A and B are shown apart, each in its own frame.
Chain A
């Protein structure tokens, strides 16, 4: 499996992850090497095997639909990069 610098650019965009253009080639090489490791799994027949998501095959626990958290807006916004009047500020999205 071989990825190109162009593939890396596409994947980085999907992840909204800034990558220096001069590093794309290196990442392509690293990623290809890692994917080559994955090829080993291909030799295993897993057609009858169920995927395992939780070691104890425990399913997601449900809780009663009751309010358990109280509002801590001020505390949470104290660590935000930019807030105004209780709102998180980001660059303009709609012109």
Chain B
């Protein structure tokens, strides 16, 4: 049962083959059985079973939707009314959210069953899930390696079949990189497509929530529920949501794929390059044509990102002051001591690093040299993409320069860790949608293929990904011990 896709489970529920309660119990059991992965921060069995009962009623009445009765889980960055929302931080270890994020509301309205909240890097700052206050998540393909981050719990849970579909968020690659390292499908939508209301902010001009599933078809089903304009998010874009499943079966004849030469240079593992080339070859067989494109400013993406994201993070995280919610230090001597010690005791090292960088970059005398410069570079990178996407339909390339690295391997060197985001960060700066899909294995570890599309062309990306998944079976492989 746990190997079925969301599309298959939805059919089974509607035909009465099994109930949502049965399904929910199976996945809750698997979560307990594989606790060692540390994928969940909070499991909500009582609430899940109540939701499942309600879903079964809706299914019996015939008032069900696409996701009614389907078990899902939320990254612990989405506020859930009455349920602890930690964001992977000691700062919010005692935080019971007083309201639901819009994404959570939408899943609830759809009748989906939330099994719990997923582990993540602290405040989504990290590429390995090792900055979480709740400890690292293990990659089910090799438990000595990281699952990637920041949506590491999300990716590991789907890969280990603990839940068929989950949410993630992506500020610099946090959906696509863990999806690639865990061998699942992860979509980062266009900036503004999915509401950020109730999604705890890291870098507001880059953050975007999206689905993580095993197949593109399942991702389409989740995105259908998640996407849409939201008055409560001032950066939400008011544009109709297409029917993502309607175009998924379109053939790919005539599709033009751009390969940026900058994606295949120094630093990319030769084994990964070969797997990407094989995947592109498969697309040629499906009727696509391929041409080289160039994005000369891509090399500036990491410096621009590591100014813009920390600058926005330093502003966003100033709300955690120990006064109205979250952690407060013992016996503060005065107000400054209360702020300084509460923040100092409750934030982890990586969060502190980024707050410091951001504070420095925004401080008097440095704003023009760092933040403003980075925002100008951001436009140049975005124009590179615009130009490339005027010549081709989609851009393809690797998601990560290597497969999953070892636990602890990069924690001592923040810059090495930052460089592992090299192929994903530029897409966030431009605000474009991109999907990571399983494309093969290198030394028994999964490798992802990244497909980048035009603004709001999620339908096209899902179509291109789905067609590949019709002729390959990488997305169906399960890690040993989790079959």
Q: Chain A: which residue is nearest B380 at the CB level? A: A49
A63 to B238, CA, bound (A): 14
**With A55-B192, A79-B95 known to touch, is A15 a contact of B323 (CB < 8 Å)?**
no
Q: Chain B: which residue is nearest A81 at the CB level? A: B328
Residues of A within 8 A of B344 (CB): 17-20
Q: Chain B: which residue is nearest A79 at the CB level? A: B325
Partner of A63, one of B231, B360, B375: B231
Interface string of B317-351 (1 = CB under 8 A from A): 01001111111100011111111110111010000
Complex interface residues of chain A between 58 and 95 (CB less than 8 A to chain B)? 58, 60-61, 63, 72, 75-76, 78-82, 88, 90-93
Instruction: Kindly provide the distance from the CB of B370 to the nearest chain A CB, expressed in whole angstroms.
Output: 6
Interface string of A20-40 (1 = CB under 8 A from B): 100000010011011101111
Residues of A within 8 A of B323 (CB): 80-81, 88, 90
**With A40-B303, A91-B332 known to touch, is A50 a contact of B376 (CB < 8 Å)?**
yes
Residues of A within 8 A of B16 (CB): none
Instruction: Kindly provide the distance from the CB of B459 to the nearest chain A CB, expressed in whole angstroms.
Output: 18
Which of B129-137, B294-302, B462-470 lies on the face that meets chain A?
B294-302
Residues of A within 8 A of B (CB-CB), count: 52
A74 to B214, CA, bound (A): 42
A51 to B345, CA, bound (A): 36
Partner of A31, one of B235, B328, B357: B357
Instruction: Kindly provide the distance from the CB of B337 to the nearest chain A CB, expressed in whole angstroms.
Output: 7
Interchain CB contact under 8 A, A80 and B303 = no
Interchain CB contact under 8 A, B95 and A17 = no
Residues of B within 8 A of A50 (CB): 376, 379
A18 to B321, CA, bound (A): 12
Interchain CB contact under 8 A, A58 and B414 = no
Interchain CB contact under 8 A, B300 and A52 = no
Interchain CB contact under 8 A, A52 and B192 = no
Interchain CB contact under 8 A, A15 and B335 = no
Q: Chain A: which residue is nearest B456 at the CB level? A: A56
Residues of A within 8 A of B300 (CB): 40-41, 44
Residues of B within 8 A of A93 (CB): 334-335
Complex interface residues of chain B between 355 and 377 (CB less than 8 A to chain A)? 355-357, 359-360, 363, 370, 372-377
Interchain CB contact under 8 A, B415 and A37 = yes
Partner of B415, one of A34, A46, A63, A92: A34
Interface string of B34-72 (1 = CB under 8 A from A): 000000000000000000000000000000000000000
Residues of B within 8 A of A (CB-CB), count: 70
Interchain CB contact under 8 A, A15 and B355 = yes
A74 to B304, CA, bound (A): 42
Instruction: Kindly provide the distance from the CB of A10 to the nearest chain B CB, expressed in whole angstroms.
Output: 9
A35 to B373, CA, bound (A): 13
Residues of A within 8 A of B304 (CB): 41
Q: Is B306's beta carbon under 8 Å from chain A?
A: yes
Interchain CB contact under 8 A, B356 and A54 = no
Interface string of B408-431 (1 = CB under 8 A from A): 000000110010000000000011
A82 to B332, CA, bound (A): 12
**With A12-B356, A18-B343 known to touch, is A38 a contact of B338 (CB < 8 Å)?**
no
Q: Is B191's beta carbon under 8 Å from chain A?
A: yes
Residues of B within 8 A of A17 (CB): 340, 343-344, 347, 352, 355-356, 359
Residues of A within 8 A of B286 (CB): none
**With A34-B415, A79-B325 known to touch, is A14 a contact of B357 (CB < 8 Å)?**
no
A11 to B359, CA, bound (A): 7
Residues of B within 8 A of A13 (CB): 340
**With A72-B98, A88-B323, A91-B332 known to touch, is A53 a contact of B205 (CB < 8 Å)?**
yes
Q: Chain A: which residue is nearest B329 at the CB level? A: A18
Interchain CB contact under 8 A, A27 and B345 = no
A54 to B97, CA, bound (A): 28
A65 to B344, CA, bound (A): 39
Interchain CB contact under 8 A, A52 and B363 = no
**With A46-B377, A80-B325, A91-B338 known to touch, is A37 a contact of B303 (CB < 8 Å)?**
yes
Q: Chain B: which residue is nearest A89 at the CB level? A: B323
Across the A-B interface, the 9 shortest Cβ-Cβ residue pairs: A18-B344, A55-B431, A51-B375, A81-B328, A46-B376, A52-B379, A16-B339, A49-B376, A15-B359
Known contacts A16-B339, A31-B356, A49-B377; 19 further A-B pairs (Cβ under 8 A): A11-B363, A14-B359, A14-B363, A15-B318, A15-B359, A17-B343, A17-B356, A31-B353, A34-B414, A35-B360, A38-B303, A41-B303, A50-B379, A51-B376, A55-B190, A56-B192, A56-B431, A63-B231, A90-B335
Q: Could you name 22 residue pairs across A and B whose Cβ atoms are closer than 8 Å?
A: A8-B356, A15-B318, A16-B321, A16-B336, A17-B355, A30-B414, A34-B306, A34-B357, A35-B360, A41-B304, A46-B373, A52-B378, A52-B379, A55-B205, A58-B235, A60-B234, A75-B98, A76-B324, A78-B96, A80-B323, A81-B326, A82-B328
